[in-house]
Amino acid sequence: MARLQLKNVNKRWGTFVGVENFDLDIADQEFLVLLGPSGCGKSTTMRMIAGLEDVTDGEILLGDRVVNKLEPKDRDISMVFQSYGLYPNLSVYENIRFPLRVRKVPREQHDDMVMRAVRMVELEDFMHRRPAELSGGQRQRVALGRAIVRKPTVFLMDEPLSNLDAKLRVSTRAQIKNLQSKLKVTTVYVTHDQIEAMTLADRVVVMNAGKIQQVGTPTEIYDNPANTFVASFIGSPAMNLVEGTLKDGVFQGEGIRVEGLPTDVSGNITLGFRAEDAEIIEGPGNISAPVYSIELLGEASMITWRLGGALVSIKTNKEYRAEIGETVNARIPSNICHLFDTVSGAVVAHG
């Protein structure tokens, strides 16, 4: 069983706090994604799990065993790095085989174990090539093969797709999801890309400034963000956020007015709604303002207004056309609006 627990884990360098009170229980075989901007503490958290960084306070447990003081090689964890970390003078076969040699796995078992991994990452035709002869996607598959060859208890993946182009990211993402499903190994995956998080994860941990902002399934985090940071980080485009005031169920902001909201909330409020949940209309609506930009996305068009200091976008059908500067109206149903405290950013009410 590969249940992984982090109990009130902290990481400090002098007065600088990298990770603060990280408390999480990761289930056996779960695919967990740590998501957040650069510098939020996600890679530091992964490096503490791997044993590459010491824990300042708290405990990390693998199964029932506290592993804080164990060397990385004794934790039965495999890690895939952003930079691949391949040996340039070794073939694909020998790169994948290398962990078996280091761990002194009996030599007679090597070929079967390596070939199993090679087949899983679909590199049978490239076994005798060296890394310089491979594409970026193929090198990443070698790194994956090397990680899975010895059947570790936990996989750690630190932004493994960030060096790939957009097309390769999509195909390699699908392969990672498929591999994890077949291998049934607990996986912790670090990324700053919310699309990767939404498509890969069983659960997502959104981090900022060293702290957990929200933990949940991709659907929970997308539909019910805990604060304005999560709302602005998840989604493509991110949730629209407009500051204003709420009184007697009526929200009023610059260029926007929405009625029918909760009457038990009042004061300075940030209104949030998703681009796909509102609609362009002909008559009077909640927004009536000049178009700031229009973008054809392929499957839809995106209309954007500037309302005060905020850019607000709504998706509409791909045939829709409007000129920049033309006044366009939009309707925002009150039941899809999220309300956040403008000062703290915490959610007050969900639509």
Q: Which of 18-22, 126-130, 160-164 has the lowest mean pLDDT?
A: 160-164
Most confident of 24-33, 152-161, 282-291: 24-33
**Across 325-342, average pLDDT:** 95
**Across 254-283, average pLDDT:** 93
**pLDDT at 143 exceeding the cut of 80:** yes
**Across 95-118, average pLDDT:** 87
Tally Cβ neighbours within 10 Å of residue 191. 24
Can you give the pLDDT at residue 83?
A: 73
**Dist CA 119 CA 345 (whole Å):** 48
Answer yes or no: are the C-beta atoms of 262 and 338 closer than 8 Å: no
Can you give the pLDDT at residue 148?
A: 82
Band of residue 189 on the pLDDT scale cut at 50, 70, 90: very high
Give Cβ neighbours of residue 29 (< 8 Å, ≥ 6 apart). Answer: 2, 184, 185, 186
* pLDDT tens, residue by residue, 312-333: 999 999 898 889 999 999 999 9
**Dist CA 340 CA 107 (whole Å):** 60
**Over the Cα atoms of the chain, what is R_g?**
24
Band of residue 177 on the pLDDT scale cut at 50, 70, 90: confident
What are the chain's domains? 4-226 (3.40.50.300), 229-349 (2.40.50.140)
Percent with pLDDT over 90 in the chain: 60
* pLDDT tens, residue by residue, 37-60: 999 999 999 999 999 999 999 999
**pLDDT at 269 exceeding the cut of 60:** yes
Residue 85's alpha-carbon distances to 74, 127, 279, in angstroms, are 20, 17, 48
Can you give the pLDDT at residue 219?
A: 95
**pLDDT at 1 exceeding the cut of 70:** no
CA 152, 8, 69, 206 dihedral sign is positive
Answer yes or no: are the C-beta atoms of 85 and 147 closer than 8 Å: no
Three-state secondary-structure class, residue 346: strand
Which residues share a beta bridge with 26?
4
One-character DSSP codes across 181-212: HHHT-EEEEEES-HHHHHHH-SEEEEEETTEE
Supply φ then ψ for residue 173, to 5 degrees.
-60, -45
Can you give the pLDDT at residue 284?
A: 87
**pLDDT at 180 exceeding the cut of 70:** yes
Does the predicted TM-score (pTM) go above 0.85?
Answer: yes
**Across 222-236, average pLDDT:** 94
Supply φ then ψ for residue 209, to 5 degrees.
50, 40
> Which helix H or strand E contains 220, and what residues bound it?
helix 218-223
Answer yes or no: are the C-beta atoms of 82 and 159 closer than 8 Å: yes
Give me the chain's average pLDDT, please. Answer: 90
* pLDDT tens, residue by residue, 270-282: 999 999 999 999 8
> Helix, strand, coil % (nearest 5) of the chain?
25, 35, 40
Can you give the pLDDT at residue 206?
A: 97
**Across 107-115, average pLDDT:** 89
Band of residue 175 on the pLDDT scale cut at 50, 70, 90: confident
Q: Which of 109-118, 144-153, 203-212, 241-250 has the lowest mean pLDDT?
A: 144-153
Can you give the pLDDT at residue 161?
A: 79
**Dist CA 208 CA 190 (whole Å):** 13
